A and B are shown apart, each in its own frame.
With several copies, the nearest count.
Chain A
């Protein structure tokens, strides 16, 4: 074990990084050091982000836009400055293409609703089709089920291969001339699979369908370039990338944001209102009704600063090395079955598995008693569990502060679990 660990190169200086995260000092169950391996559910928040949040409330808090007093101007500059930071982070052609939402789920619902109320050529109605995949998070399934129930559109999806990849063998039958939108996850939160964007985008473009990419598990972990992806919309969420809860992002191509109708109506999203009719502000404001999550956007901006300072390339490499090590070590555990790709290639740093017929709830609970936090259940991707005939999985997921020693602790913990229920 130590031998394998010593051979690892390309890791970040986690000792320094971990000092920025107060919660990682937390002791649980009296005296156990927390081993936090639940990063696909939510990430922890560094001091640098917390400081920015505190400073926002202690120095600059005001409602944004249109204020002529100092605080309002400062808060607006901070909020809009955060938009600039996010735009740069994802290489958006324009800052006005970055919409702040409350989470990735709202971002995904926003697109589904835009298309439901859109005019031609975007309108989703009973003569059209919507394509998703069997590995989507519920937040990228249910909005499309609702849309298809409400418009009569047909919902189709790509199935999965036995080794946890998209089955694209019949891509030309799934994505057709009737397809209005293809929405899929860049990196699966349950399988870890990283999907072949290019092939899907190419086919979608062939038939003139829009593409929405759920990058919730990608934006935190690798360089993200919305122009290189070639998609029309990209959604992600702040709390998984060192940011606060309560903030999500939808990036969309400018022409589309101009053409598509608004979703939530209210203050901030209007140009002018009379009782009889209203006109809407240009994007992104058109899609940001009401007082936005101001401090949360500012906090997400600080998170992006933090990530940039370390370097997304380096973070991706760190996680890749960890994932390879984890896959190797997990293979040593008898009766452990990885659900999803069982190598470190083309996958993210979330690894789901089953352990004999010990129920994941029991695995998770016993690990918790050792201070090891993993997630158990269907991970909001129940169709994947159905597909592989399992009720649930245990999932360990890593981030920039995760260490090989934590993976060793996990493996030791799993041995303990086996003995405990053996």
Chain B
């Protein structure tokens, strides 16, 4: 389960730290105490930044770092596709063997395929992704209100 890719992201997280954003959320995994505070910054439909602070296990921390790598700079629609794919992979109970197309879409995130075999850890891997989804919804709700 602890692929080198995951350990690398854990030891050297990408984009960590809180920066300016359109919306901020705080998510907690009550069963293990993993926490994340996450902000999203949009330029139109384009993700300008995802910044975060958190504490937790290597899986939740590395996953946030991978998320930052993957989503920043993408359009919302594309990001949602990636999020959906990652969710599917994590819920596969180890049954999905990532193919080339998936590797291309998920890049480093395919390293989490092994985590999906451990039900107790799937929530850790998903923590930042759920936070991102939630923050995005809030950002656009804000925008709709002010528009």
- Chain A interface residues (CB < 8 Å from chain B): 65-68, 72-73, 76-77, 271-272, 358-362, 365-366, 376-378, 385, 390-392, 420-421
Contact = CB atoms under 8 A, between A and B. Distances in A.
A67 B31 CA distance: 10
A68 B55 contact: no
A68 B118 CA distance: 8
A271 B30 contact: yes
Contacts of B121: 68, 361, 365
Given A361-B59, A361-B124, A365-B1, A76 B119 contact: yes
The CB with the most chain B CB atoms within 10 A, among A362, A385, A420, is that of A362
B5 interface: no
A361 B28 CA distance: 15
A72 B118 CA distance: 11
A73 B56 contact: no
Given A361-B121, A365-B1, A420-B2, A391 B56 contact: yes
Interface stretch (B32-40, B42-50, B97-105, B130-138): B32-40
Contacts of A65: 31, 120
B110 to A, nearest CB: 19
Given A68-B120, A365-B1, A359 B58 contact: yes
B57 interface: yes
A366 B2 contact: yes
B34 A391 contact: yes
5 contacts: A361-B59, A365-B118, A377-B32, A421-B10, A421-B11
A39 B68 CA distance: 40
B85 interface: no
B7 interface: yes
A302 B146 CA distance: 58
Contacts of B58: 358-359, 362, 421
A65 to B, nearest CB: 8
Contact of A391 (B11, B32, B59): B32
B58 to A, nearest CB: 5
Contacts of B11: 421
Contacts of A271: 30
Contacts of A72: 120
Nearest to A386: B33
B98 to A, nearest CB: 21
Contacts of B30: 271-272
Given A361-B124, A421-B7, A73 B119 contact: yes
Given A377-B31, A391-B32, A421-B10, A361 B57 contact: yes
Contacts of B2: 365-366, 420
Interface string B1-37: 1100001001100000000000000001011111100
Interface string B65-109: 000000000000000000000000000000000000000000000
Contacts of A66: 31-32, 120
What 7 A-B pairs come out closest when comparing CB atoms? A391-B33, A359-B57, A361-B57, A272-B30, A362-B58, A392-B33, A362-B57
A358 B58 CA distance: 8
Contacts of B1: 365
Given A359-B56, A359-B57, A421-B10, A385 B118 contact: no
A272 B121 CA distance: 18
A378 B29 CA distance: 12
A390 B119 CA distance: 23
Contacts of A360: 32, 57
Nearest to B31: A66
Contacts of B28: 272
Contacts of B57: 359-362
Nearest to B93: A77
A68 B34 CA distance: 15
Given A391-B56, A421-B10, A421-B58, A385 B33 contact: yes
Contacts of A73: 118-120
B94 to A, nearest CB: 12
Contacts of B35: 391
Contacts of A361: 32, 34, 56-57, 59, 120-121, 124
Given A68-B118, A360-B57, A361-B121, 4 more contacts: A359-B32, A359-B58, A366-B2, A421-B10
B77 to A, nearest CB: 31
A217 B20 CA distance: 50
Contacts of B32: 66, 359-361, 376-378, 391-392
A30 to B, nearest CB: 15
B62 to A, nearest CB: 10
Nearest to B35: A391
Nearest to B55: A391
B44 to A, nearest CB: 37
Contacts of B124: 361
Contacts of B34: 359, 361, 391
A365 to B, nearest CB: 7
A66 B124 CA distance: 12
